[in-house]
Structure 1
Amino acid sequence: MSSKDLAGHLFRLRNIGLLFLSKAGGVLVGIVFLPLFNRLLGSESFGVVAVILSLQAFLVMLDLGMSTLVGRDVAAHDNNTVLNPTRIWLNAEELLTVFYVVIGAASVGWFFVFGTNHLSLFSVLSAVLLFWSLVLQNTVQAVLLSTASYMSSALLQIIGVLVRAALTALALMYLSPTIEMFLGVQAIVSILHLLACRVRCKQVVRDRGWSLARTFELENYRKLLNRSLPLVLFGIAGAAVMQLDKPLLSYFMTAADVAPYYLAGAFCMTPIIVLAGPLAQYFQPLIVGGVARRDHKYTHRMVGLFSASLIIMTVFPTLFLWLLRGPIIEFWLRDQKLLDIVVGYSAVLLPGVAIGAMGYIPYSLLVSKQDFRFQAGASAVLTFVTLVLVGIFAEAKNVFAICWVYTAYHVASSIMSFARALYLDGISVYARQAMLYCLAGASLLLAVCGIRLLN
């Protein structure tokens, strides 16, 4: 290996390490702060907060497809596919702000007409501001990642997440352990975090010589919305299937019943959030750029590295968590009342979540081809079937069955994405390459879990 190749590998590892670091804040929140919030608020109030956090994740995913379009266009800029890559970011911010003004007005109207059992008007407005600021943060992160500003992205992410969680915990401990306090502090810190992110993003844009001039032309918004329509459906479907299970459960069961299911989901998503997510953030812009340039050798290498890295960084950690889930969850929760329930749910969910993470590879290939319509249609059908089954089992108060439904969803989602990528010209060869890695990883995971269960 030449010194140039070695330097390239070390530089790549440093950048991926920074993205792992950016997810460390979310992990610490899950490990340290979620159980603390549960104790401070009590099971009933925390159940309400769990539903709000699920709605938050739903709306962050439902960003009208803007973060995907922004990231894709900025990453492909060197191929001259976008004349001004900054314009889409600024236009996306404006559209999302208008969208949340509408959501805010609708939420206030709902409050005055129907009221809520657990939330005040202050809580409703705080929640809307929190959701808006987090969605706009996503578009800023898309710009930073697509311009390879990994250091800025990582530091802003981890500092913002940890400061928001820590200040919320302090406020609950020393001021008032209420839902109003939780949402108020979360909203204020998140808005300040957004402002800091935008300052750094503007510096990066100026350094590249891109214009920050705003253009309020209706035609630009129309084109952006037209491109985003399939992604809106895709985002609605993805956000709904991942987040609406908790509100469905709370409708048929008590808020306290939602808490162990929410905690199990948070535990099982760790391999994706911490390990698979950063890898996808790093490799997706590179694969998009490679396909756009028709650089087959480079794209082949990036897909191979992505596939091997993803299998190593998800399958083995998932096996570790699955085999030692009992003592790990006991140490994490320190709550014997919830322990057996959370451990049982996690045993079902973990393998499916890991296989679902493998879908990041064909998804990156499909994004490079802007194959959004198929993804939207397939995701909508899969989401509909999944949520219907969730509703049926929630009414029957069978949470274990819901865990099996979500395991099947994750597996089916990956299979559908691979099938589509194998079908499309220009990326099918890369999909076949990645599929061999994923089949090996999934086989190992299922074999170990199956052998352990039989014993």
Structure 2
Amino acid sequence: MDPAIRKRCAGRDLSLLYGSKFGALLVGLLVLPAFSRILGPDTFGIVAVVLSVQALMLMLDLGVSIIVGRDIAAAPDGDATAIRILQTGTRIIVALYAALLPIALAVGMVSGAWLSITDVVASMLMFAALTAQNVGQSALLARRHFGTASALQFFGAILRAVITLAALHLITPSLSVFLWTQAGCAIVHWFVTYVRSFRLIGVDVLPNASAARSKVTVAHFLRQGRSLMLFGLAGAAVMNLDKVILAGLASPAAVTPYFLAMSLCMAPVTAFAGPVVQFFQPRIVRSIATANPSDAAVTLRQFVNVISVVTLFPTAALWLFREPITSAWLGDTGVAAPVATYVGVLLPGLACGALGYVPYCILVARKDYTFQASMSAALTIVTLIAAAAVVGAGSVIALCVVYAVYHTVSTLVSWMRCFRLFDGGELRFVRAAAARSAFIFSGFALVTAALALWI
């Protein structure tokens, strides 16, 4: 393909991935406040907990979405293995939630505090459908069907929100209506995603499927999934238990400015880095899996350049103008000043952590799941112990330092692991990517510090 055409196609694909994020952003900015007004503070508080559990369950999928994305990206074109990977991964998710449903019902009957039995069923159906849909989304991204994946994600998020709003207005503004409408929309979204991904991925392989007996089994997923499950648990714990520790050892009121600061700091990473990772990860996996050092070197260089630009520019701007930004965002609520202070401490570490996506993609390409799980678990334990210690001593600023250090150390340790995994020509492209990341980050840090002194 002509290089100019390739660049236009890459720009189009990346734009599509950013467009898919717009749906979730629109829901967060416009629809969630509407849900809050319709349902009232008490009911919406329960909804917020359910949605938080939903985000957690997407991470605790036994590593299926990561394995599906990685293995389909590495599978040759026209190989029947790709469609078998998708089928097996989907079956595992369905079996997982079928096994979890009795446990959730038992917990619901024992606690009986917030959700009725039917509400628990609706929540579990919603969790299962969204988790399975995420598997289909990973398959589409792995085969670089960015237009289809983006459209499904954008319209899925928007339609689920709009239909739920309509149901709350037309039926009754209750928790049950919210949960069952969300569950129904999620199931339809999953079904459409699965059918579309099956057709797009299987179109070239189904005629030959009977000739190629795939070795993709449930055991294959579970062997790799054990490590990825630990990885997901550790990640979920370290990113959520800090608020629990702060509320328990300090006070619930102390959580508010810290939570807002962390949310603001994560915005550049979640909004801008995610689509870049989705775009480049399949290419990195394919080039490393096929032992193509020259292609890997080019892809990693492009990846580092793009993810640095889309995350470090907004991060630097947010750090420089954190006080007026927090004041404009929060208004006269009394928490803008501490939020700005916490942002100033947290943001440099989270910016370094954003560049940690580069070694992460390299390690995923090499299926180095066991190390990632062990590293994540060890860092999580150390970080949470340190968090409890500094919060017990009465310092939220020190808690921010702990988390800034966590993100920085996680990135550095991941790079060190990459150096140990590769040798020869492969080690050269790993070192080049690491050096480029360090050079760009250091340059941004120095320029930002100079601007801060000048301003």
TM-score (norm 1): 0.87
The residue aligned with 2:309 is 312
Cα distance change, pair 30–226 in 1 and its aligned pair in 2 (3 A): same
SS of equivalent residue, structure 1 residue 78: coil
The residue aligned with 1:150 is 146
Note the C-alpha offset of 1:218: 12
User: Residue 141 in 1 paired to residue 140 in 2?
Assistant: no
Q: Distance in 1 between matches of 2:173 and 2:410?
A: 40
Cα distance change, pair 288–141 in 1 and its aligned pair in 2 (3 A): same
Note the C-alpha offset of 1:339: 3.9
Moved more, 264-273 or 284-293: 264-273
Please give the per-residue CA displacement for 1:255-283, whole angstroms capped at 9, x wherever unaligned.
77655544443332222222211111111
Alignment of 1:230-379 (within 5 A): 230-249=227-246, 258=255, 260-332=257-329, 336=333, 338-379=335-376
Please give the per-residue CA displacement for 1:334-358, whole angstroms capped at 9, x wherever unaligned.
6735544544443333332221111
Counterpart among 205, 208, 215 of residue 204 in structure 2: 208
Contact 1:23 1:273 in 2 (8 A): no
Q: Distance in 2 between matches of 1:192 and 1:112?
A: 28
User: Residue 191 in 1 paired to residue 190 in 2?
Assistant: no
Q: Distance in 2 between matches of 1:277 and 1:241?
A: 19
Counterpart among 55, 59, 62 of residue 53 in structure 2: 55
SS of equivalent residue, structure 1 residue 71: helix
Cα distance change, pair 180–408 in 1 and its aligned pair in 2 (3 A): farther
SS of equivalent residue, structure 1 residue 63: coil
Moved more, 398-407 or 352-361: 398-407
Q: Distance in 2 between matches of 1:181 and 1:58?
A: 22
Note the C-alpha offset of 1:247: 4.7
The residue aligned with 1:221 is 218
Q: Distance in 1 between matches of 2:249 and 2:363?
A: 38
Please give the per-residue CA displacement for 1:208-254, whole angstroms capped at 9, x wherever unaligned.
2237989xx99922232112222221122122222344455555677
Q: Distance in 2 between matches of 1:33 and 1:400?
A: 33
SS of equivalent residue, structure 2 residue 430: helix
Q: Distance in 2 between matches of 1:263 and 1:43?
A: 19
Moved more, 218-227 or 149-158: 218-227
Cα distance change, pair 219–451 in 1 and its aligned pair in 2 (3 A): closer
Q: Distance in 2 between matches of 1:287 and 1:25?
A: 27
Q: Aligned-pair RMSD on alpha carbons?
A: 3.3
Cα distance change, pair 21–128 in 1 and its aligned pair in 2 (3 A): same
Contact 2:284 2:296 in 1 (8 A): yes
Note the C-alpha offset of 1:150: 0.5
Please give the per-residue CA displacement for 1:40-86, whole angstroms capped at 9, x wherever unaligned.
55666555544433332221111111111111111111189x75121
User: Residue 384 in 1 paired to residue 381 in 2?
Assistant: yes
Residue type at the aligned position of 1:138: N
TM-score (norm 2): 0.87
SS of equivalent residue, structure 1 residue 336: coil
Contact 2:350 2:404 in 1 (8 A): yes
Contact 2:80 2:202 in 1 (8 A): no
Q: Distance in 1 between matches of 2:117 and 2:391?
A: 29
Moved more, 397-406 or 380-389: 397-406
Residue type at the aligned position of 2:413: M
The residue aligned with 2:11 is 13
Contact 1:134 1:190 in 2 (8 A): yes
Q: Distance in 2 between matches of 1:404 and 1:72?
A: 34
The residue aligned with 2:156 is 160
Contact 1:237 1:379 in 2 (8 A): yes
Cα distance change, pair 204–295 in 1 and its aligned pair in 2 (3 A): same
Structure 2 gap ranges (5+) = none
Cα distance change, pair 168–346 in 1 and its aligned pair in 2 (3 A): farther
Q: Distance in 1 between matches of 2:33 and 2:324?
A: 16
Q: Distance in 2 between matches of 1:400 and 1:45?
A: 33
SS of equivalent residue, structure 2 residue 76: helix
Structure 1 gap ranges (5+) = none
Residue type at the aligned position of 2:145: S
Q: Distance in 2 between matches of 1:325 and 1:174?
A: 42
Contact 2:85 2:216 in 1 (8 A): no
Please give the per-residue CA displacement for 1:378-423, whole angstroms capped at 9, x wherever unaligned.
1110111223334455667755443333222211111111111112
Cα distance change, pair 425–150 in 1 and its aligned pair in 2 (3 A): same
Contact 1:54 1:246 in 2 (8 A): no
Cα distance change, pair 79–158 in 1 and its aligned pair in 2 (3 A): closer
SS of equivalent residue, structure 1 residue 243: helix
The residue aligned with 1:24 is 22
Percent of pairs identical after alignment?
36
Structure with the bigger RCO (C-alpha within 8 Å, sep 6+) is 1
- The number of residue pairs the alignment matches comes to 450
Q: Distance in 1 between matches of 2:340 and 2:174?
A: 28
Counterpart among 412, 417, 426 of residue 414 in structure 2: 417
Counterpart among 128, 133, 137 of residue 132 in structure 1: 128
The residue aligned with 2:70 is 72
Note the C-alpha offset of 1:129: 2.1
